[in-house]
Every structure is written in structure tokens, then in C-alpha cells.
Amino acid sequence: MKVLVYGSGQLAQMMYLAAAPLGVSVQAVDVNTESVVNPLDKSILDISLNDAITQADALTVEFEHVPEHLLKHASNSGKLYPNIDSILAGADRVREKALLQAYGIANCEHEIIRTVQQLDGITERLGERIIFKASRDGYDGYGQWRLTSKSQLQALIKEFQALDLDKVPLVAEKMLAFDREISLIGSRNKQGQIRCFSIAENLHHEGQLHVSVAPATQIDESLQTQANEIFTKLSEAMDYVGVLAVELFQCGETLLVNEIAPRVHNSGHWTQQGCHTSQFQQHIRAVLGLPLGSVGTYGVSAMVNIIGCDDIDNGLLGLDNTHLHLYGKTVRAKRKMGHINVVADSHQNLGASLLALTKFLPMTHFPQLNEEAKRLKNS
Ligand code: ATP
Ligand code: MG
């Protein structure tokens, strides 16, 4: 069987690797050149996009910002999973919020800003701490502006006047003092079978994910059930097929959806070694209508992103239950270069293993790791 993935970055690469043992071959589309490439070495394959679409059993995406004309073309084949509406909802915060509201799924208090005049009195309505998010093309914290006091509003309004808010509105969200960020990654296959992975706990730095721990610490069954219910409600309502990530804010026992990603997700990379079935293989299974795999875990896992650096000491390869995944990219500031998965039999031992790992990493690029390792070790 064959799957064609729109987008040719690390997520397509990891889908390729996970699909191979099932005898499934994965090709990728470079959405800039519209050529069909090998997801591993990015070499251009001798096949037209149309022929690749015809030959594929399923088409899918590795990111939601695929140009709309390509998505429509893919959707016309009748083989695009998840469906185009789900992908577009993930790419546009206005559509995403409308979807959450329509299905009564709790999310942050917000307003859609289409003209700067709407900012009059906004701090009276949402409070002085507001996060403004461009409705499209934002990721890793890009396309966001933070207001922490009313006195900054005038300067922000000036900045927003230069934007085309009619074309790309902003979502103004009340900044939440949440307890922590977690994510629920689940999958639904063509037959409607659903499996959710254990909740991951996510640490961000400057809007970018740095560390995930899964299963998260201090998760009782009811929280996992609540998250699974959100997933089921959303995925069934959207007639979603594939892996879907739901980013959540935890406030006490309450879960609020921050955003959804209609694809495999960085906070699910731990499943490669920490789970019976990885999210990448689960996605391939789902879009091909194969039975979903077990979501049982091998102990507890941490995923550490390698961001903006490539001077990793290969000595870490000698550490027990520590797995390096490099994406083969050239280094740039804030660029995700790879990740490291660490598996242990308890959160305490996971903390100890992460502390051992820090000896092999340029720690200025891992601002959260030391503290997180100590927290886990003493948990
Ligand atoms: P991603 O890379 O996950 O796609 P993103 O740039 O699309 O990120 P968000 O996930 O919306 O954007 O926001 C990035 C981070 O900013 C969140 O993970 C969280 O740490 C913080 N953040 C976002 N919204 C809020 C909010 N309403 N209150 C407090 N913090 C927030
Ligand atoms: Mg996010």
C-alpha cells in the first residue's frame, strides 16, 4: 500500500520509517515545488504529482498550512484523510474556535478581532493580560503578541494597524494562569475505531515545545477520561480520520482546549519508544483503514527537543533507554533539529536518566531540562 504525505519535513520522514514494517511505502509532496520526493533524503522522485495521487491508497498531511489549492486538488481524489474541513480548521484559529464553540468544547475566553476599533475597551472585557494570535500561519509562538498591562495597548494598536485584519483576523485570548499544559493525542480510523494515547505534559519556552513527559505526572483516571471524551466528541463531529492532537490547559480539574493540530504532533514523539504503537504508525493505520494498534505504554517517557543547535555529544548513545532522532536539517536559531526519547520505569528514574543526559547536551539550548529532571527525580 502507498500513502502520499503533503509536506516533506521530519513528520513525513517519521511516518515513512514507521510505515515500512507494515509494507506501506510513503512518498511526500514538497508543497513549494509541488514535486514528489522521498521523505528520508528529499530526493525528487520520477513521478508527477497527479500520478502519485492516482497510485496512492491514501493522501494525508504532515502540517496544516498546505496551500489551499493543493488541499482542494487532493480532496477531489476522495482519498484525503483527515478531510479538508478538519485540516482547514487546524490552519485557521477563527474556524477552530467556531468548531469548539459549535460542539460546546471548553476553550479560552476570546474575541475575534477584524478591525482595530474592536480593541476599544478590550481590557475591560478580557482583563489586562491578553494574548493576540494571528488566525493563520502562526506556529511555535510566531504570530503572537502579548499584552500584560493596559498601558501597552496603544503601542499594540499601532502595530495592528499595519496588518490586514480583514484578511487575517486576530484571536484575542484571555491569558490564563493555568496549572500546566498537557496534550491528548488520539486517532480515529476510517471505520470509526478510536484509540487515545496517554496524556502528555508539555513544557514550553518562548512559545516552543521543549520537553514532553508521558504519561504525565499526577494524572488520575478521571482527567484522562475527560480528555478522551473531548477527543471522541471532536473527532466524531469532524468525521476525523487519522491522528489528531489536542493541546489543553489544565486548571485544577478543568480542561480547556488551547488548539488542535490535524496531524501527528511533537508532543506525541515519545510514542516512538514509549508506546506499543507510535503515533506515526497509528496515523498510517488510521488513514488506510487498518486496525489501530495498542496504546499501552512501556513505562514512562520523556521527549526532549533539540532546538537551534547541532553540537550533541554522541556519547549519549551509550545511555540506557535513550534514543536519538535527528532530522538531517541544517542548524538555524529556534529550528527543531531532532529529539531524544528517554524511557524509564518510574518518573523518579526518568528524572535520573534525564539528569544523566544533560552531561551530553549544550545546556544553553535546553533551558527547561535540568529543572524538569530534578522535579521528576523528586516526584
Ligand atoms: P504550536 O507550535 O503549538 O502550534 P502556536 O504558536 O500555534 O504553537 P499556541 O499553542 O496557541 O500557538 O501558543 C503557544 C504557547 O503560548 C502555548 O503553548 C502556551 O504556552 C502559550 N499560550 C497560548 N495561549 C495562551 C493563553 N490563552 N493563556 C496563557 N498562555 C497561552
Ligand atoms: Mg500550540
The CATH number linked to 7 is 3.40.50.20
Ligand 1 neighbours (beta carbon < 6 A): 108, 131, 133, 138-141, 173, 175-176, 181, 204, 207, 247, 258-259
Report the separation in Å between the CA atom of 292 and the middle of ligand 2, taken as the mean of its atom positions: 26
pLDDT at 139 over 80: no
| 194 and 327 co-located in one domain | yes
H helix intervals, 210-299? 221-237, 271-274, 279-288
| 347 and 276 co-located in one domain | yes
Least distant ligand from the CA of 140? 1
Provide mean pLDDT across the span 238-244: 98
The CATH number linked to 135 is 3.30.1490.20
| 288 and 154 co-located in one domain | no
The total number of structural domains in the chain stands at 3
Confidence of residue 11 (pLDDT cuts 50, 70, 90): very high
pLDDT digits (tens, 9 = 90+) for 314-358: 999 999 999 999 999 999 999 999 999 999 999 999 999 999 999
Provide DSSP, 44-108.
BPSS-HHHHHHH-SEEEESSS---HHHHHHHHHTT-BSS-HHHHHHHHBHHHHHHHHHHTT--B-
pLDDT digits (tens, 9 = 90+) for 103-114: 999 999 999 999
Which of 174, 201, 230 terminates a domain? The answer is 174
* Pocket residue to mutate for ligand 1, from 203, 258, 267, most atoms within 8 A of Cβ: 258
| 122 and 189 co-located in one domain | no
Note the residue count of the chain.
379
**72 in any annotated domain:** yes
| 197 and 218 co-located in one domain | yes
Q: Which domain holds residue 219?
A: 180-377
| 143 and 192 co-located in one domain | no
pTM, to two decimals: 0.96
In whole angstroms, give the CA distance from residue 90 to residue 69.
Answer: 16
| 146 and 189 co-located in one domain | no
DSSP state of 302: E
Which of 80, 101, 117 terminates a domain? The answer is 80
| 316 and 210 co-located in one domain | yes
| 345 and 369 co-located in one domain | yes
Report the separation in Å between the CA atom of 147 and the middle of ligand 1, taken as the mean of its atom positions: 14
pLDDT digits (tens, 9 = 90+) for 145-170: 999 999 999 999 999 999 999 999 99
**Number of neighbouring beta carbons within 10 Å of residue 33:** 11
Strands 130-134 vs 300-307: parallel, antiparallel or unpaired: unpaired
**Number of neighbouring beta carbons within 10 Å of residue 184:** 29
**305 in any annotated domain:** yes
The CATH number linked to 357 is 3.30.470.20
The pLDDT score that the predictor gives to residue 138 is 73
Provide mean pLDDT across the span 225-246: 98
For the chain, percent of residues with pLDDT exceeding 90: 97
| 123 and 225 co-located in one domain | no
Provide DSSP, 150-185.
GGGHHHHHHHHHTS-TTTS-EEEEEPP--SEEEEEE
| 192 and 228 co-located in one domain | yes
Which of 123, 154, 174 terminates a domain? The answer is 174
| 345 and 217 co-located in one domain | yes
